[in-house]
Amino acid sequence: MDFLPTATSSDEAARNASIAVLPIGSFEQHGSHLPLATDSIVACAVAEAVSSQYDLMLLPPVTISCSHEHSDFAGTVSISAATLYAVVKDVAASLDQRGVRKLVLVSGHGGNYVLGNVAQEGNVGTCRMALFPHRDDWEQARKAGGLTTSNHEDMHGGELETSILLHVAPELVRGDADDWVAPERTHLHQIGVAGYSQSGIIGRPSLASAERGRLVLEELVRLAEPHLEHLTG
């Protein structure tokens, strides 16, 4: 897959899309078997599939975001929530100047809580926004893909993310990784992921498969439709 849009200005002029799609990932540890860019790759895969299916304007990804809960692990880089907020608002304002007043934020990182606030604020302004996938969308996609884990059990670097990467970028998956489950994570915001997992994994990567990743993406494309309908309705 292409991780950056390859459309030309002429392509976008001809498309004349009223909705743009912005993938937002992160640059953070995902164990020893997945790259730091995993969330960005997942966000790009979802955004590319959705924009292709519904003929929307695909934007390049935001690849560094709010990963402070992973700061104990090498390679992780973060920006503040205020900076991420400002970046998304500026992108929306730029699109608005060009007449594109609807924006889908495709988040590949669950720690970007500020995106919910950005979307809520946007929807009382001139640029309407949708945040996708929601937690329920991910859970439904897991079921459609035949995954055996839940969102809570398989939080990070597990069956879901490994399956998607095995489907879209198998060359980036480095061998096997040990499963690690930490069901009680009450103090995650205080002590970070390292307080619950030495490897950085919370989930079951051993259950992953490329076919499950394909089915998850296929279901997410279907689940995007009602979100788009709310934007245009």
pLDDT in tens, 108-118: 999 999 999 99
Domain regions of the chain by residue span? 10-232
pLDDT of residue 220: 99
With beta carbons less than 8 A apart as the criterion, state whether 36 and 70 touch. Answer: no
pLDDT of residue 126: 79
The three-state secondary structure class of 171 is: helix
In the sheet that holds 57-58, the strands lie side by side as 57-58, 19-24, 102-107, 128-132
pLDDT of residue 176: 86
CATH (one of 3.40.50.300, 3.40.50.2300, 3.30.365.10, 3.40.50.10310) for 10-232: 3.40.50.10310
pLDDT of residue 127: 84
* pLDDT, mean of residues 1-19: 94
Nearest to 180 by CA among 205, 212, 152, 149: 205
With beta carbons less than 8 A apart as the criterion, state whether 97 and 31 touch. Answer: no
What would you report as the CA-atom Rg of the chain, rounded to the nearest whole angstrom?
17
Percent of the residues in the chain that have a pLDDT greater than 90, as a whole number: 94
pLDDT of residue 27: 99
pLDDT in tens, 15-73: 999 999 999 999 999 999 999 999 999 999 999 999 999 999 999 999 999 999 999 99
